[in-house]
Amino acid sequence: MSALKNDCLLKSLLKEPTSRTPVWMMRQAGRHLPEYRKLRRQAGDFMSLCRDPELACEIAMQPLLRYKLDGAILFSDILTVPDAMGLGLYFVEGEGPKFRKPLRTERDVESLSVINSKVDLTYVLEAVSLTRKELDGSVPLIGFAGSPWTLAAYMIEGKSSRDFARTKTWLYQHPEILHQLLQKLTLSVVDYLNAQICSGAQVIQIFDTWGGILSDFAYEEFSLAYTREIITNLISRHNDREVPIVLFTKSGGNWLEKIASSGCNAIGLDWTVSLREARRRVGAAVALQGNMDPAVLRSNPESIELEVQRILHSYGSGSGHVFNLGHGITPDIDPRNVAVFVEAVHRYSRD
Ligand code: 1CP
């Protein structure tokens, strides 16, 4: 493996000094890029892109050809894990992800098997090694998985949901069944992420997109306990380098101290938290990643530059900040505004 030419993302995640603030964007590969939409039209649907390692690699590279980003993210989806467990993932245009066989009964949970990624998700691991090869040491490759709680929520609902009503009913009515499911997902995610690390992923991000819908007690018991177990069981060094772990919990601002105690190296923050305040609370223990509202990218270059400066100022000087959006970039964003955003982070963070 060639040496890494740009390691500022890895350094910042480990709170080591860098000459400027590294930047990447959640969902940087995907629907806001016309070149992605073209490939997707040709392929017919999203899963055909994910299942073809060469296409997945090409899509992961697309944003790097346009913008000066400091990391590439594997092109795949968090829902490949439940798909590999037999739920039958499919996408309906304009409606998002769906499962053919959502979990309905205790028996459904009992009959689930923990995945063996090398067998069940070979196509993802091939995409990881191909993308790593294509990057040729330019920037690090970020691998990822969903948190057990977030995956369980999609598996029980069968699709996206505003209130995750079925999942919460299980939580209060049948907590033991939910725990059984979360334990199987935890073992599956550990296997999956370790396989990604062995295939070439140099950073790991865990997406707990729906952690923030839980009550304070339930967050600890049904989400954090399992992400903590995952982090404890991940390979922490590979090829003589530490593999930093980012834990992103959407709407998790109330729980920063708990999240920092999970063993992660960095916390992904949405835009509801002040970086200054987050740094005061947990900045000694972990790096911080975030947290511009993606809606800013819908405005104009002047407003984008001002917001970038405001966020850099809010973090203040010193190491340990990775610039990102507070959630994924939306499909309607003009790539020219993204270029302005990335340039602004480069320019103003040197000062
Ligand atoms: O072309 C299409 O219509 C497919 C759109 C799409 C894309 C481009 C989906 C469906 N997934 C992805 C890629 C993806 N998803 C990536 C890799 C690309 C990148 O980041 O550059 C990653 C990291 C994800 C992660 C993901 N998938 C999350 C966690 C991050 C987050 O946004 O909170 C979640 C919740 C999903 C589920 C999912 N998959 C796809 C959609 C539209 C959704 C969200 C559904 C919902 O709103 O509930």
pLDDT tens digits along 30-57 = 999 999 999 999 999 999 999 999 999 9
Residue 6 · residue 70 · CB < 8 Å = yes
Residue 189: the pLDDT is: 98
**How far is residue 306's CA from residue 129's CA, in Å, rounded to a whole number?**
38
Res 178: pLDDT: 98
Q: What's the mean per-residue pLDDT of the chain? A: 97
Contact between residue 206 and residue 145 where contact means Cβ atoms under 8 Å apart:
yes
What's the mean pLDDT in 264-276?
Answer: 98
Question: Whose CA is closest to 62, among 40, 37, 29, 39?
Answer: 29
Domain residue limits, the chain: 8-350
pLDDT for residue 184 is more than 60? yes
Cα(46) to ligand 1 centroid in Å equals: 10
| Amino acid 2: pLDDT | 57
pLDDT at 244: 98
To the query of whether residue 107 is one of the catalytic residues in this protein, the response is no
Nearest CA to ligand 1 atom 41: 96
Active-site residue (options: 77, 83, 191, 270) = 77
219 a catalytic residue: no
pLDDT of residue 3: 85
pLDDT grade, residue 351 (50/70/90)?
low
CA of 18 to the centre of ligand 1 (A): 30
The model's pTM: 0.97
- For 318, phi then psi, to 5°, come to 100, 170
The residue-averaged pLDDT of 130-137 equals 98
Is residue 133 over pLDDT 80?
A: yes
Question: Quick check: CB of 248 below 6 Å from ligand 1?
Answer: no
Residue 319 confidence class, pLDDT cut points 50, 70, 90: very high
Question: Is pLDDT above 60 for 285?
Answer: yes
Rounded average pLDDT over 229-247:
97
Mean pLDDT of 202-224: 98
Its CATH architecture, for the domain 8-350, is: Alpha-Beta Barrel (3.20)
Give the distance (Å) from ligand 1 centre to CA of residue 351. Answer: 34
For residues 99-118, average pLDDT = 98
What pLDDT score was predicted for residue 92? 86
* Residue recorded with tokens 């990391």: 71
The answer to whether the CB of 139 falls within 8 A of the CB of 6 is yes
What is the per-residue pLDDT for 223? 98
Q: Considering only CA atoms, which residue is closest to atom 3 of ligand 1?
A: 46
pLDDT digits (tens, 9 = 90+) for 59-76: 999 999 999 999 999 999
Q: How far apart are CA 9 and CA 15, in angstroms?
A: 10
| Cβ of 144 below 6 Å from ligand 1 | yes
Mean pLDDT within 8-14: 98
How far is 144 from 204, CA to CA, in rounded Å?
5
The whole-number pLDDT of residue 114 equals: 98
Taken in order 64, 151, 243, 259, the sign of the CA dihedral is positive
Task: Find the 17 Cα to ligand 1 centroid distance in Å.
Answer: 32
Name the band, by pLDDT with cuts 50, 70 and 90, for residue 181.
very high
Residue of 67, 70, 132, 154 marked active site:
154
Active-site residue (options: 20, 27, 241, 276): 27
Q: Does residue 21 surpass a pLDDT of 80?
A: yes
Cα–Cα distances in Å, from 226 out to 215, 266, 302? 16, 17, 42
